[in-house]
Amino acid sequence: MSRQSSFSLRIRLLLIVLLAMLPVLGLLLYSNQEQRRFAISLASEQTLKVARLVSASQVALIEQTHQFLSTLGQLPQIRLGMEPCSAFLQSLQKEYPYYAVINVSRPADGEVICSTLPLPDNVAGQGFFQRTLATGSFTVGDYTLGGAAGRPFLPLSYPVFTEEGLEMVLTAGVDLSWLNRLAASASPANSVILVVDRQGTVLAYYPESSTWTGRNVAGAPVVQLMLGPEREGAAIIAGLQDSERLFAYTPLVEGDDPSSAVLAVGLPLEEAYAEANRLLWTNLAILGVVTTVALAAAWVVGNEFIVQPVNRLIAVTRRLAAGDLQARTDIVGSSEVGQLARAFDEMANSLQRQINQRIEAESESRRYAARTLMLIQVADQLNARLDLPLVLRMLCELAARAFNVTGSLVLLYDEGEDHFYYAAGYGLPAHALSKVQPAPGDSYRQFIETYDLPIVASDTRKLTPLVSSELCQEHDIRTTVTARIAHHQQILGVLVIFTVGESRGFTEEEVGLLGGIAGQAALAINNARLFDQLHASREQLRQLAQQLVNVQEKERRHVARELHDQAGQVLVALKITMQGLEASVPEEMTELQQSFQEALGLVDMVMDDIRSLTRDLRPLVVEMRDINATLEGMCREFSQHIQLPIHYSGQHLPELADSLSLTLYRFLQESLTNAAKHAQASHIWVTMKSEDEEVSIAVEDDGVGFETANRWSTGIGLVGMQERIEMMGGVLVIDSQPGRGTSLVATLPYQEADGNVGV
């Protein structure tokens, strides 16, 4: 074994160790993913708690401001004038730094009486001022950006009343920067705090307040989340600077609209994943140490107990492959490698015998495969044809080409004449082969009954051939091989291959192959004859069925004529007689006159029934020559009779053969009758059309349907339709399911009228 092979085996051993470590690595990675999900869940809860804390502090500050303004409105210092009042308010602002501005305004015009700002704005147009005047109570305004205070704040207003009415309006603007300080003190390191109004404008942002305050960021992903339908929540999403963070958001409660501003606290993902990442790297380091130790042990142990014995086995194998059958491993022991070495030595002892047997078997297998392939090809080509003359011509050509001979011929046995006659040939001129005279049955019978394998006549100049001697002499036919064609011990004929101008020997395999080809030819000839018989039987059956239909239609016509000529005339005479008797009855005998009228009505009813029966027995389809109009009229009359909508769609056709027209008529008649009796349908659709040399008529309904597997057990109607259509060379397709309606489609070959009237 080469150094490279030994190294490759060691590498495989090490790979096995590494593969054993893969599940451990997968478990570590899976555990890390679980830890990361848990860390995100925990961080989401903590961050949401911070956001809720800030929101709650906002509510508390609003309530505190309410108390502050209420107390301030009772102090006399705010009524001392502008300068003393402003100085007093500025001193209060120092004690309460979370107020950006404190104002005292006149309710009449919104003019600021005193303020912590040097140049305060008039507040008459401010929403919070107007709401305070309208409600007469403490009011929370909308978040305000800038203004005279120069920073965003939340205005809170309180009206001060005296006995004379509203005296003044006190306003305190809560500085939003306190939110940054509060959230920063309660949030983890490197967190961001964002406050936006419902329009997406930044009211506060920590730690870069001056950069973002006042900017509209409604398109930022985190802002879209904050302004979404959920009131509060947490998600990993991009912030204002496009870096992903874990954001938790909740509304800042204020005034009449608690959702006018939303607060979000963003935590860096690395802070959330810090503990999970630390555990992962620690576990990976431990796994690396364990893997290194296992690899070193596998290297040492594998070299001693696996690599060296395998090297010896490989060396002996190479000697054996080079032809040294005396090579042995000489490895002892009960280990797996020792058992393998003993098995290898036993294999060397029998290897030579197996090689010889294999060579012989391969040779036989190739011969058998070639023979089988030849027979399969012959069978495929012969069985693909059902025309007997074509099958015989193809057989002769295939046989001549298969054995590379000049030609071949087939003689078939005529049992009635008891002779073999020429049926097909290949390789000689047609006029020469056609001169082959029938041979008496005795000339082949002994050969056929005695030999299973073909008979070889190596030289017809010295042996009497089984084929015509005149043909052999005229065309110098030298060698012939004759095989019998038999099917189930019944002689069908013989297959002869021959050479011209030179003699040739044939091996046993070639002779056997010719016998196999003759066997396949027997099957093909028998199939072709059966097909011819089947075709003739079908044609005879069709003619008999057609004659039966002709007789039926003739009898129907006879019955219809008898009903019309005999019963019809009798009923007409009866009606005239009864009308005469009715006229002779005195007018005062009203009851007798009424009886005559009822009797005349019954006569009319019977006459109508006879006319309908006559029309059914002998329809006008033959005389009218317009099958489309006839079928449409039948549908119209049937619809009126059974009070069921029948929708007909057809196309005008040239004059059809009487048998085809009657078949279409009877099919529609039977189909409509079955639908009326059994379908329980609310609509019936009839379609008649002609295309591709065929005429088809379809009858469909939306009734209860039935199981098509049981269609023949419902009566003889479907059976009769099937037989009548098939004897016309057509096909009937029945499609139905319980609850899904029924479809009957009859397709028949197109036949034009031949000038005959009637059937």
Q: Is 718 helix (H, G, I), strand (E, B) or coil?
A: helix
Q: How far is CA 72 from the centre of its chain?
A: 78
pLDDT tens digits for range 75-128: 888 888 888 888 888 888 888 888 888 889 988 888 888 988 876 778 888 878
**672 pLDDT exceeds 70?**
yes
Q: Which long-range contacts (CB under 8 A, 24 or more apart) does 546-555 make?
A: 546/659, 546/727, 546/728, 549/659, 549/662, 549/724, 549/727, 549/759, 550/659, 550/759, 553/662, 553/758, 553/759, 554/758, 554/759
Q: Per DSSP, what are the bridge partners of residue 634?
A: none
pLDDT tens digits for range 191-244: 788 888 888 887 777 777 667 777 888 888 888 888 888 878 888 888 887 788
User: What pLDDT does 430 receive?
Assistant: 76
Q: Are 628 and 653 in contact (CB under 8 A)?
A: yes
Residue 386 pLDDT class (50, 70, 90 cuts): confident
Q: Is 683 helix (H, G, I), strand (E, B) or coil?
A: coil
User: What pLDDT does 44 receive?
Assistant: 74
Q: What is the DSSP letter of 188?
A: P
Picking from 94, 97, 103, 100, the residue whose alpha carbon sits closest to that of residue 73 is 103
Q: What is the Cα–Cα distance from 576 to 724, expressed in whole angstroms?
A: 43
pLDDT tens digits for range 143-190: 776 555 567 778 888 899 888 888 899 998 887 776 666 656 656 667
User: DSSP letters along 620-633, please?
Assistant: THHHH--HHHHHHH
Residue 304 pLDDT class (50, 70, 90 cuts): low
Strands (E), 176-243: 192-197, 202-206, 233-238
Which residue is it, tokens 């019954």? 602
**685 pLDDT exceeds 90?**
yes
Q: What is the Cα–Cα distance from 495 to 447, expressed in whole angstroms?
A: 13
Strand order across the 165-175 sheet: 112-115, 99-105, 165-175, 153-162, 139-140
Q: b/e string for 687-709 if b means 16 or more Cβ within 10 A?
A: ebebeeeebbbbbbbebbbbeee
pLDDT tens digits for range 240-294: 877 888 888 888 764 445 446 888 888 787 777 777 788 888 888 888 888 888 8
Q: Is 257 helix (H, G, I), strand (E, B) or coil?
A: coil
Q: Are 198 and 260 in contact (CB under 8 A)?
A: yes
Q: What is the Cα–Cα distance from 89 to 63, expressed in whole angstroms?
A: 19
User: What pLDDT does 621 receive?
Assistant: 47
Q: Give the torsion sign (CA, 382, 387, 391, 397).
A: negative
CA angle 93, 95, 96 (to 5 degrees): 60
User: What pLDDT does 695 receive?
Assistant: 92
Q: Which residue has the higher pLDDT, 151 or 740?
A: 740
Q: Is 275 helix (H, G, I), strand (E, B) or coil?
A: helix
User: What pLDDT does 553 receive?
Assistant: 64
Q: What is the Cα–Cα distance from 753 to 544, expressed in whole angstroms?
A: 21
Mean pLDDT of 294-304: 75
Average pLDDT, the chain: 77
Q: What is the Cα–Cα distance from 343 to 340, expressed in whole angstroms?
A: 5
Q: How many residues belong to the chain?
A: 759
Strands (E), 620-741: 646-650, 684-691, 694-701, 731-736
Q: What is the pTM of this model?
A: 0.37
Q: In degrees rounded to 5, what are phi and psi of residue 491?
A: -75, 125
Q: Which long-range contacts (CB under 8 A, 24 or more apart) does 76-82 make?
A: 78/104, 78/113, 78/114, 78/168, 78/170, 81/114, 82/113, 82/114
Pair of tokens at residue 758:
């009637």
Q: What is the Cα–Cα distance from 683 to 723, expressed in whole angstroms?
A: 27
**CA-to-CA separations, 663 to 218, 697, 747, in angstroms, rounded:** 79, 11, 11
Q: What is the Cα–Cα distance from 136 to 74, expressed in whole angstroms?
A: 17
Q: What is the DSSP letter of 567?
A: I
Whether omega for the bond prior to residue 207 falls within 30 degrees of 0, making it cis, is yes
Q: Per DSSP, what are the bridge partners of residue 14?
A: none
Residue 1 pLDDT class (50, 70, 90 cuts): very low
The helix (H) or strand (E) run that includes residue 103 is: strand 99-105
Q: Is 201 helix (H, G, I), strand (E, B) or coil?
A: strand
Picking from 183, 177, 109, the residue whose alpha carbon sits closest to that of residue 149 is 177
Residue 755 pLDDT class (50, 70, 90 cuts): very low
pLDDT tens digits for range 637-650: 888 888 889 999 99
**CA-to-CA separations, 384 to 394, 454, 477, in angstroms, rounded:** 11, 26, 32
Picking from 169, 89, 100, 67, the residue whose alpha carbon sits closest to that of residue 128 is 169
Q: Number of C-alpha atoms within 13 angstroms, CB side, residue 709?
A: 1
Number of Cβ atoms within 10 Å of the Cβ of 118: 8
Q: Which residue has the higher pLDDT, 50 or 694?
A: 694
Q: In degrees rounded to 5, what are phi and psi of residue 122?
A: -65, 135
User: What pLDDT does 717 receive?
Assistant: 65
The helix (H) or strand (E) run that includes residue 166 is: strand 165-175
Q: Are 609 and 743 in contact (CB under 8 A)?
A: no
Q: What is the Cα–Cα distance from 196 to 179, expressed in whole angstroms?
A: 12
User: What pLDDT does 711 receive?
Assistant: 57
Q: Are 192 and 242 in contact (CB under 8 A)?
A: no
Q: Which residue has the higher pLDDT, 337 or 419?
A: 419
Pair of tokens at residue 433:
């082969």
Which residue is it, tokens 């394998």? 453
Mean pLDDT of 404-408: 87
Q: What is the Cα–Cα distance from 12 to 454, expressed in whole angstroms?
A: 63
Classify residue 465 as exposed, middle or buried by CB count within 10 Å of its CB (0-12, 13-18, 19+): buried
Pair of tokens at residue 554:
């003739």
CA angle 663, 666, 668 (to 5 degrees): 105
Q: b/e string for 73-100 if b means 16 or more Cβ within 10 A?
A: beeeebeeeeeebbebbeebbeeeebbb
User: What pLDDT does 388 receive?
Assistant: 81
Pair of tokens at residue 485:
């064609």
Amino acid at 734: I
Q: Is 150 helix (H, G, I), strand (E, B) or coil?
A: coil
User: What pLDDT does 537 receive?
Assistant: 75
**16 pLDDT exceeds 90?**
no
Q: What is the Cα–Cα distance from 440 to 438, expressed in whole angstroms?
A: 7
Residue 756 pLDDT class (50, 70, 90 cuts): very low
**562 pLDDT exceeds 70?**
no
